[in-house]
Chains A and B, each alone.
Chain A
């Protein structure tokens, strides 16, 4: 058998081939894995929607719904000309004179909050629904106007000073919450689905059949998250600052540090959650079970302080609580990194423990 090659020859050839020209940076396995991972995310339209469009739509919707409106003018009606004129003194009331049939109809259908009806001897009767806050407010305003028109003089002079500072509105509270929620969602979903999908398609098995160093694969996921992070935080933050003038009082550098460690912690958690599941269904069940309590308890939409004191230590130990608290402290109170130490610590612990566990538990096939 002259044409066959003996093993010693093969080994010699391998040794001789093995003086590889140095690889360029872009040819390095870790760089390639990261690039590929990043490209895959960018080419996933649904994922892009959840990462970019969804938080902006949510912020816009909630920002509009809970915007601090200028005190609204309440619509009321009166059935007599005299009372109508008295009520018109109050700028926060829009008074209409109606006949009693129309007025009853308007009150019943909620078109007006209150109806003032003249009684005997110049008395007034207010008809309104006392379970409706607008009705109660209208009652107070209307009565003040009627009494003052009749000559009452207030014993103490009072004046108003109105504050609508950026930083104390609901939207200012909401934007850091949404950024935190987005950090968590995109990291955990982004990790979970792609890892499980690659496992299901045997792509993971194919990769471990190459000389690829296994930790590189997991590291590349974390690194590509950092690239995405710049985009996803930047967009929500930019939107909040531009449309709603949400302040960023702390340094941008410490804000970046919070986002970075937060995203890495969630990514590691995502890897851990995806480390064994073989089907998308199993993985998404697990991911939702882990994320749901945090959506509720970690103070995305309302302050976590509302929960009873006994559970506060647990809530504070959740990664999303730590991330959101740190974001709010930075953006709204201008806290620096030292002041954010406790939250950063919580996130770092989550990151390290999850990543180490994920490496140990990870199923490649």
Chain B
């Protein structure tokens, strides 16, 4: 498919990387199309960072191929470096330098791109221009890291958990910045634990677990794939042991029921039918409700239905 291939900004085939005790990436294939924002989702230790760092040319894979912007790390590393914007998962920039000094330094490595002042304006850090990096808030530090990634005017942007640890407001601010960059037609590969982040920013997502891709598609497709638009969760307090789960599965519109630590979760297609039926069934079993909640299905629920685990252990 020549048409498709000329459209792939990043193509990864058969990627494998093992460390002493774990196989971090285990036979991964990925294709990121030019101009899209692609999300790599997965729990801690899924192999997201390892994958991204192999694509960035920082880690050498045990086997597999990476083709990035039509180039290869083995032969065109220097040109590639000029074209990439990179944010690593946990870099601490030098605390003793100011925002402006930091960006001037990073800018000096690239042949072209916005000047330090322009990059500062891009991430709205103007009033912090002369502050030491050590005195910035978490969100400001992340915006500075983003500016460092943008300062070479990259065609491809790698963002490894850009909003982890930030408060909701700082996250939204960073999302706006990423969307701005996206709208200028450049390509992004982003990793995250946050499903809402992926749903908001990414055209397509791949879900990773134990070094493998377990799902791929647009957020909408993936949610549709579990055939349940809604999730109902309830808890029955002390009585949960005597709960008759098979009976719940028979309720019409219920697709799946699982019970975990006293909380029961049900995947449901038609909420308006399932909830009254559930209440009636619980009354029949003589079980009092202590809690009941419903929400629309998210990527998180996709992950749970694929692996039986939650993305983040909370």
In contact, A4 and B88 (Cβ under 8 angstroms): no
CA distance A14 to B153 in the complex (A): 10
In contact, A33 and B105 (Cβ under 8 angstroms): yes
In contact, A10 and B108 (Cβ under 8 angstroms): no
CA distance A33 to B82 in the complex (A): 18
Query: In chain B, what residue has the closest Cβ to A32?
Result: B108
Stretch from A99-107, A200-208, A337-345, A350-358 contacting the other chain = A200-208
CA distance A5 to B185 in the complex (A): 7
Which residues of chain B come closer than 8 Å to A365, judged between CB atoms?
58
Which residues of chain B come closer than 8 Å to A205, judged between CB atoms?
58, 88, 91
Which residues of chain A come closer than 8 Å to B57, judged between CB atoms?
209
Query: In chain B, what residue has the closest Cβ to A19?
Result: B112
Query: In chain A, what residue has the closest Cβ to B98?
Result: A39
Which residues of chain B come closer than 8 Å to A9, judged between CB atoms?
34
CA distance A212 to B77 in the complex (A): 12
Which residues of chain B come closer than 8 Å to A17, judged between CB atoms?
112, 153
Asked if A7 lies at the interface with its beta carbon under 8 angstroms from chain B, I say yes
In contact, B6 and A43 (Cβ under 8 angstroms): no
CB interface residues, B 1-60, toward A, < 8 Å: 6-9, 33-36, 56-58
In contact, A10 and B69 (Cβ under 8 angstroms): yes
Query: In chain A, what residue has the closest Cβ to B3?
Result: A6
CA distance A112 to B123 in the complex (A): 78
Which residues of chain A come closer than 8 Å to B112, judged between CB atoms?
17-18, 20
Kindly identify which residue among B6, B86, B101, B153 contacts A209, using a CB–CB cutoff of 8 Å.
B86
In contact, B35 and A3 (Cβ under 8 angstroms): yes
CA distance A212 to B83 in the complex (A): 13
Kindly identify which residue among A1, A11, A28, A206 contacts B70, using a CB–CB cutoff of 8 Å.
A11
In contact, B88 and A10 (Cβ under 8 angstroms): no
Kindly identify which residue among A6, A33, A44, A210 contacts B96, using a CB–CB cutoff of 8 Å.
A44
Query: In chain A, what residue has the closest Cβ to B104?
Result: A32
Which residues of chain A come closer than 8 Å to B86, judged between CB atoms?
206, 209-210
In contact, B94 and A14 (Cβ under 8 angstroms): no
Q: How large is the interface on B (under 10, 10 to 19, 20 to 34, 35 or more residues)?
A: 35 or more
Asked if B90 lies at the interface with its beta carbon under 8 angstroms from chain A, I say yes
Asked if B93 lies at the interface with its beta carbon under 8 angstroms from chain A, I say yes
Kindly identify which residue among A3, A29, A43, A202 contacts B108, using a CB–CB cutoff of 8 Å.
A29
In contact, A211 and B109 (Cβ under 8 angstroms): yes
Which residues of chain A come closer than 8 Å to B96, judged between CB atoms?
39-40, 43-44
Which residues of chain B come closer than 8 Å to A212, judged between CB atoms?
109
CA distance A4 to B33 in the complex (A): 8
CA distance A29 to B69 in the complex (A): 25
In contact, B94 and A36 (Cβ under 8 angstroms): yes
Asked if B260 lies at the interface with its beta carbon under 8 angstroms from chain A, I say no
In contact, A201 and B106 (Cβ under 8 angstroms): no
Interface secondary structure of B, over-half rule: loop
Minimal beta-carbon separation of B306 from chain A (angstroms): 28
Which residues of chain B come closer than 8 Å to A40, judged between CB atoms?
94, 96-97
Asked if B209 lies at the interface with its beta carbon under 8 angstroms from chain A, I say no
A-B interface contact total, Cβ < 8 Å: 113
In contact, B35 and A7 (Cβ under 8 angstroms): no
In contact, B82 and A206 (Cβ under 8 angstroms): no
CA distance A11 to B97 in the complex (A): 34
In contact, A211 and B94 (Cβ under 8 angstroms): no
Query: In chain B, what residue has the closest Cβ to A28?
Result: B108
Minimal beta-carbon separation of B6 from chain A (angstroms): 5
Asked if B152 lies at the interface with its beta carbon under 8 angstroms from chain A, I say yes
Given contacts A5-B35, A33-B105, A209-B88, are A198 and B94 in contact (CB under 8 A)?
yes
In contact, B152 and A210 (Cβ under 8 angstroms): yes
In contact, A211 and B152 (Cβ under 8 angstroms): yes
Interface string of B132-168 (1 = CB under 8 A from A): 0000000000000000100011010000000000000
Which residues of chain A come closer than 8 Å to B185, judged between CB atoms?
3-5
Which residues of chain B come closer than 8 Å to A1, judged between CB atoms?
7, 33, 35
Asked if A308 lies at the interface with its beta carbon under 8 angstroms from chain B, I say no
CB interface residues, A 151-176, toward B, < 8 Å: none
In contact, B88 and A206 (Cβ under 8 angstroms): yes
Which residues of chain B come closer than 8 Å to A44, judged between CB atoms?
96
Interface string of B105-142 (1 = CB under 8 A from A): 11111111000000000000000000000000000000
Query: In chain B, what residue has the closest Cβ to A36?
Result: B105
Which residues of chain B come closer than 8 Å to A285, judged between CB atoms?
none
Asked if A13 lies at the interface with its beta carbon under 8 angstroms from chain B, I say yes
Given contacts A17-B153, A32-B108, are A203 and B92 in contact (CB under 8 A)?
yes
In contact, A202 and B69 (Cβ under 8 angstroms): no
CA distance A205 to B34 in the complex (A): 26
Given contacts A18-B112, A203-B94, are A4 and B34 in contact (CB under 8 A)?
yes
In contact, B69 and A11 (Cβ under 8 angstroms): yes
Given contacts A18-B111, A202-B92, are A39 and B36 in contact (CB under 8 A)?
no
Which residues of chain B come closer than 8 Å to A209, judged between CB atoms?
56-58, 81, 84, 86, 88
Minimal beta-carbon separation of B67 from chain A (angstroms): 10
Which residues of chain B come closer than 8 Å to A29, judged between CB atoms?
108-109
Which residues of chain A come closer than 8 Å to B92, judged between CB atoms?
201-203
In contact, A202 and B153 (Cβ under 8 angstroms): no
CB interface residues, A 1-57, toward B, < 8 Å: 1, 3-11, 13-14, 17-18, 20, 23, 27-29, 31-33, 36, 39-40, 43-44
Query: What 10 pairs between A and B have smallest CB-CB spacing?
Result: A4-B35, A201-B92, A211-B81, A32-B108, A206-B91, A43-B96, A210-B109, A212-B109, A209-B86, A29-B108
30 A-B residue pairs with Cβ-Cβ distance under 8 Å, sorted by A, are A3-B35, A4-B7, A4-B35, A5-B34, A5-B187, A7-B6, A8-B70, A9-B34, A10-B155, A11-B69, A11-B70, A14-B82, A18-B112, A20-B111, A27-B108, A29-B109, A33-B108, A36-B101, A39-B96, A40-B97, A198-B94, A202-B91, A205-B91, A206-B86, A206-B93, A210-B106, A210-B152, A211-B78, A211-B110, A365-B58
Besides A8-B6, A27-B104, A27-B108, 12 new A-B residue pairs in contact (Cβ under 8 A), listed by A number? A10-B9, A18-B112, A20-B112, A31-B108, A39-B97, A202-B90, A206-B93, A206-B148, A209-B57, A210-B86, A210-B110, A211-B110
